[in-house]
Structure 1
Amino acid sequence: MAVARSGSCSKSFRFETEARALTLLKDWLSPKQRASYERFRYFDVVGSHTGTRYRIHHGTQTNIEEISGTGQHVCKWCFVPDGDLVAGDVMLAQKVALETNERGALAVAHRSFVSSGPRRF
């Protein structure tokens, strides 16, 4: 049964959901990833098939950067699970997908190339 929520309850519910999702995400991060996320709001993962490094920024879309072996930004990737998920849940799904099924994740992802201007996430 669906329950209607007022605007303030809905915002409060979303805030609580995001807080729980971020706690879960941090539980899944390595100490190095957690420190990076807490300091910069991003963390790096290594692709399961190619060994490519990806940087997952806080967010829910176009929030993944592919990083070259020399540390240069190669491109952005966007793939998200279905549903109205909060950022913590999306980032955890992205982390697990890249670390366990990189090819499958990238097969459904949208790729865009990084411009030479400032990067915004």
Structure 2
Amino acid sequence: MFLFRRSGAGSSARLRALRTLYWSFTDQSTPEARARRLLREWLSPESYFEVTGSHTGRRYRIYYGTVSNFVQIDEAGQPETRWCFVPERALAAGDVMLAQKIALETDEMSVLARANRISLNLPRLHRVVRRAY
């Protein structure tokens, strides 16, 4: 493996570099990090999914997050209605977004029947929670 001598010039710098490399590797292999990598492959350059509903042909935008993160878009491309629909299990945000995308593209009416409609005037929940901490 790696051999580092504790004595000598630069040994502490090498140990710090190795520790940083180790932590960056473990951070990149978490479920959340893997979900973010997969998510980046599917997102638009503006960082959201643009989805067309399977039954009505309505357009939706799914933003990063797990709660109240998708909106129905009107003809002019403006947000019309915000919705909240999440899987039963707790998943990483990227996985939730992909599940929402697939659900809207395959069974839009079932999704909207289960989803909660949320006022556009309320801030998105993940922004509120992030500010509180």
Contact kept? 1:61, 1:80, Cα under 8 Å: yes
Deviation, 1:40, is: 2.9
Deviation, 1:15, is: 6.9
Contact kept? 1:74, 1:113, Cα under 8 Å: no
**TM-score using structure 1 length:** 0.72
In the alignment, which residue of structure 2 is the partner of 1:58?
64
Contact kept? 1:49, 1:102, Cα under 8 Å: yes
1:33-44 matches, within 5 Å, as: 34=43, 36=44, 39-44=45-50
**Cα distance in 2 between the residues matched to 1:14 and 1:83:** 22
DSSP 3-state at the match of 2:30 = helix
In the alignment, which residue of structure 2 is the partner of 1:24?
38
RMSD: 2.3
**Cα distance in 1 between the residues matched to 2:73 and 2:120:** 11
Deviation, 1:26, is: 4.4
User: Which runs of 5 or more structure 2 residues have no equivalent in the other structure?
Assistant: 1-25, 128-133
In the alignment, which residue of structure 2 is the partner of 1:75?
81
Considering only CA atoms, is the larger Rg found in Structure 1 or Structure 2?
2
Deviation, 1:112, is: 1.4
Q: How many equivalent pairs are there?
A: 100
**Cα distance in 2 between the residues matched to 1:108 and 1:14:** 34
Percent identity over the alignment is: 50
Contact kept? 2:59, 2:74, Cα under 8 Å: yes
User: Which runs of 5 or more structure 1 residues have no equivalent in the other structure?
Assistant: 1-11
Q: Bigger relative contact order, structure 1 or 2, given CA contacts below 8 A and separation 6+?
A: 1
| 1:113 and 2:119 are equivalent in the alignment | yes
